Structure 1
């Protein structure tokens, strides 16, 4: 079994709110998986999808300072820990195999507005049922996090303190 010092804390972090979308009600946030690789300063790496609904999205990983230091920080939720031996290679492998949201909208010259499109790129008829749009939050919450948990990369443990102790024990 790994010692606490051999594990990194994993969080779901929300930034925003982001620009509203008339086709998706309610406030929207950019939702990511954040792995805290440097517990002394709280920095680490963000795993997320970027892009938009007109061109589609792609999986991306980037370094990040402590999320709370961002001016767009909204919330952080502890998910568990990942073994340092599995990070980043296995973690990236699982995330990159989760299909990023494809193109889901296009400009319709007949109606002079951007509208939802079918997977083949054709427009829906006005009375035709449309599936729910998939954005970064849906990818993170419905695909990436469940896949990481199923692969046992995110383990439901207590958060790790910078000195390697469980935070609950400190």
Structure 2
């Protein structure tokens, strides 16, 4: 297969304006970037989940300029390559099949803060010191679900001879 028929796939991290106090470490908005244009300004399509964990998130793909020109750019890591054939339709179909992170927080009238929810019916919050389930956001969706699903579907390959 000739080089012109494959696109590089990157995991890109973008700085956040505000960190989530319920997440222990520095967080980034994590996306997959498929570089479809290598000539001139590098551009392509970003694949990610957007929204928040108070209302729920949803999958989105959109045209995207070179991530390194984004004012919030933090890092870009090559994770493999994808075939140009049927791209982006095959990616969108696959990624839409992965549930996006749902609502996981709500406003607690007792503490007057938005907090992780233990259960939804009825809405129950965690007590002080009670072990909590980890929150799932864009980074976990990309790193723990999207990448492995795309690899298993044969849509991301680790070498140039895809």
Same fold, TM-score > 0.5, yes or no: yes
TM-score (norm 2): 0.92
146, 149, 155: which is aligned to 1:153?
Answer: 155
Counterpart residue number, 1:47: 47
Number of positions where the alignment pairs a residue of Structure 1 with one of Structure 2: 158
Q: Please state how far the C-alpha of 1:158 moved relative to its aligned partner.
A: 4.0
Structure 2 unaligned blocks of 5 or more: none
Spell out, residue by residue over 1:65-107, the C-alpha distance to the aligned partner (whole angstroms, 9 max, x if none).
Answer: 0111111111000011110113111111111111100000000
Structure 1 unaligned blocks of 5 or more: 160-170
TM-score (norm 1): 0.87
Distance 1:85 1:18 in 2: 37
With over 3 angstroms needed to count, the CA separation of the structure-2 counterparts of 1:125 and 1:136, relative to structure 1, is closer
Counterpart residue number, 2:131: 129
With over 3 angstroms needed to count, the CA separation of the structure-2 counterparts of 1:48 and 1:119, relative to structure 1, is farther
Distance 1:18 1:28 in 2: 10
Distance 1:42 1:65 in 2: 7
8 Å contact 1:19–1:28 — kept in the other structure?
Answer: no
Distance 2:61 2:2 in 1: 26
1:15 equivalent in alignment to 2:14:
yes
Distance 1:84 1:131 in 2: 39
Aligned-residue Cα RMSD (Å) equals 1.6
Counterpart residue number, 1:79: 79
8 Å contact 2:108–2:125 — kept in the other structure?
Answer: no
The structure in which a higher percent of residues are strand is: 2
Question: Where does structure 1 differ by over 4 angstroms across 4 or more consecutive aligned residues?
Answer: none
